[in-house]
Structures are given as structure tokens and as C-alpha cells.
């Protein structure tokens, strides 16, 4: 059985990815902060075809919670074909006005937890890649277009997502020869709870649908291990292609 760990699985993009992977027959470890949400999702994933689901509620802002999450996946599956680092927090504000109380949490959830999760998952990802050298194993990080192209008012969020892009590219340099590859998806505004704050200027029906991000994940997981994709930027129609 192929298996994947998906962070931020309870809602939005993570939920969409988890449901697609369930339909593809992956066993899943799902995580977000509230076990109640994960219990509901577990039922949906089983109905969608997941052969096995491990629930593990954890706060991605707390590094000390992360080893237990990885251990839960290892107990459930032994190896890991895909790690989807998706959980994230939005934080807006120009540098001059930025609320510094939000700095640590933004960096922790959007970047530092990715370092820990990737480091701790690499042994299982290498095992899966050795067992299936044609497909290898893939890390997918949900970054943001603001990580690729700076945007006024999103400095700290964008910087945290730029750090994620750099991390994933470096993983490719260090691990792709042995079959573990990493890809970042860097979308403009996606129609989820996270983008509610911007609907006064960007209607939801002009945002990228969750399903399009899910299709990109699906495509990445169908590639062979010979192909490295560092990043895919998803822009919105009607924009200059570089703004959220
Ligand atoms: N929506 C957009 O416009 C957009 C655009 C570009 C990139 N992204 C990125 O896409 C990813 C997914 O975002 P989304 O739009 O799907 O957001 P969302 O609908 O708000 O979902 C966020 C998910 O992350 C989890 N999460 C948040 N803080 C967490 C924490 N401290 N610990 C554990 N889990 C946490 C949430 O669960 P709980 O709150 O229940 O813990 C939820 O499952 C994020 O990394 C975001 O930065 C979003």
C-alpha cells in the first residue's frame, strides 16, 4: 500500500489533496489541530477509498509535537511515498506596520515545521523510494506565489514561503539521486477559508479552485523519479502573473 502524510488536512487545499490520495488508494496519515475535524475527514477518506487512515492531531507551531506525528505514520505504514507539507497560516501587513507578535508563529508553521517534518520523514521516504525506484518518493510543499514574487503587504508570509521554496530545491540537490524528490506548488489566491479576508477586492469565483491545486498534486505524484520539478507557480487569470 502506498502511503502519504498530509498536514493541514482538515480543510481547504489539504482536505482536497487527502481526498484525491484516498481515491488513488493511498493509506493516509492526516493531521491538523482538532481531532474532531480529523474524525469527520477520516470517514470521508474511507468512503473515498483510503485503505487505512491514521489520525494525529498536532500543532505545527510546536516543534516538540512533530516527532510523535512522524512516529504515528511509521507505526501505521513503515514507509512513506508522499509527504505533503501543506499546513500554513496567513499573515498580512506591510513591514512598517507588521504585528511582530505574529512573526514566530508564521515562521514556525510555514517554514520551520517543514524542516523538521522533512528531516524526520527522510528515512521513510528513502525506504519507499528504494522499494519503488520507478516512482520514487515525493515531498510536496504548498508554498505561495508570494514566495516566488514579492508582494507589498505580505512580506513575512512571502518570506516564510520563499524559505520553503529554497528548502525544497535544496532537498532535490541532496536527495533526488536516490529517488526522493521535492516539489513546491506556489499558487495565487485559492478559494479557501484562508482567502476570506480579501474577498472585498477579489471575488471567490475569480480565485484558483482547490481542485486545480489538487490536480497539480496528482500530476506530480504520477511523474517518474527521473523527473525533478522544483516549483510550479499558479497565477490567477487577469493578473500580471506575479501577484497573489
Ligand atoms: N488560500 C490561499 O489563497 C492560498 C494561496 C497560496 C498558498 N496557500 C497555502 O496553502 C496552504 C493551505 O491553505 P488553505 O488555503 O487550505 O487554508 P485553510 O483552509 O485555512 O486550511 C489550513 C489548514 O492548515 C491547518 N493549520 C493551520 N494552522 C495550523 C497549526 N498551527 N497546526 C496544525 N495545523 C494548522 C488548518 O487546520 P486547523 O486550523 O484546524 O489546525 C487547516 O487544516 C497553506 O500553507 C497556505 O499558506 C493558500
**Digits of tens for pLDDT over the chain (244 positions)?**
999 999 999 999 999 999 999 999 999 999 999 999 999 999 999 999 999 999 999 999 999 999 999 999 999 999 999 999 999 999 899 999 999 999 999 999 999 999 999 999 999 999 999 999 999 999 999 999 999 999 999 999 999 999 999 999 999 999 999 999 999 999 999 999 999 999 999 999 999 999 999 999 999 999 999 999 999 999 999 999 999 9
* Contact predicate 211/187, CB 8 Å: no
Helix (H) or strand (E) holding 211: helix 210-222
At residue 162, the pLDDT reads: 98
Closest of 174, 181, 186 to residue 231, by C-alpha: 186
Angle subtended by helix axes 155-175 and 113-131, to nearest 10? 30
Closest of 4, 175, 178 to residue 84, by C-alpha: 4
Indicate whether residue 91 lines ligand 1 (CB < 6 A): no
Indicate whether residue 194 lines ligand 1 (CB < 6 A): yes
What span, in angstroms and rounded, lies between the C-alpha atoms of 223 and 122?
19
At residue 168, the pLDDT reads: 98
- Residue numbers annotated as active site: 157
At residue 185, the pLDDT reads: 99
Kindly report the protein residue whose alpha carbon is nearest to atom 23 of ligand 1. Answer: 8
Domains and CATH numbers, the chain: 3-234 (3.40.50.720)
Q: What is the DSSP letter of 191?
A: S
Indicate whether residue 37 lines ligand 1 (CB < 6 A): yes
Amino acid at each position: 500500500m502506498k502511503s502519504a502524510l498530509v498536514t493541514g488536512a482538515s480543510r481547504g487545499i489539504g482536505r482536497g489533496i487527502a481526498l484525491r490520495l484516498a481515491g488513488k488508494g493511498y493509506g493516509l496519515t492526516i493531521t491538523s489541530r482538532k481531532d474532531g475535524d480529523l474524525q469527520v475527514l477520516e470517514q470521508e477518506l474511507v468512503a473515498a477509498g483510503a485503505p487505512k487512515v491514521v489520525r494525529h492531531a498536532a500543532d505545527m507551531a510546536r516543534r516538540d509535537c512533530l516527532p510523535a506525528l512522524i512516529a504515528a505514520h511509521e507505526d501505521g505504514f513503515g514507509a512513506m511515498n508522499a509527504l505533503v507539507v501543506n499546513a500554513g497560516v496567513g499573515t498580512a501587513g506591510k513591514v512598517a506596520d507588521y504585528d511582530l507578535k505574529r512573526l514566530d508563529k508564521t515562521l514556525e508553521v510555514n517554514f520551520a515545521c517543514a524542516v523538521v517534518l522533512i528531516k524526520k520523514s527522510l528515512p521513510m521516504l528513502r525506504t519507499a523510494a528504494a522499494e519503488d525506484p520507478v516512482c520514487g518518493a515525493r515531498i510536496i510543499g504548498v508554498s505561495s506565489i508570494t514566495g516566488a514574487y514579492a508582494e507589498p503587504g505580505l512580506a513575512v508570509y512571502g518570506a516564510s514561503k520563499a524559505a520553503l521554496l529554497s528548502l525544497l530545491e535544496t532537498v532535490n540537490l541532496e536527495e533526488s539521486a536516490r529517488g526522493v524528490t521535492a516539489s513546491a506548488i506556489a499558487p495565487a489566491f485559492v478559494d479557501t477559508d484562508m482567502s476570506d479576508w480579501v474577498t472585498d477586492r477579489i471575488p471567490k469565483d475569480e480565485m484558483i479552485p482547490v481542485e486545480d491545486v489538487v490536480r497539480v498534486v496528482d500530476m506530480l505524484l504520477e511523474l517518474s523519479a527521473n523527473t525533478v520539478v522544483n516549483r510550479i507557480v499558479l497565477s490567477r487569470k487577469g493578473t500580471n502573473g506575479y501577484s497573489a
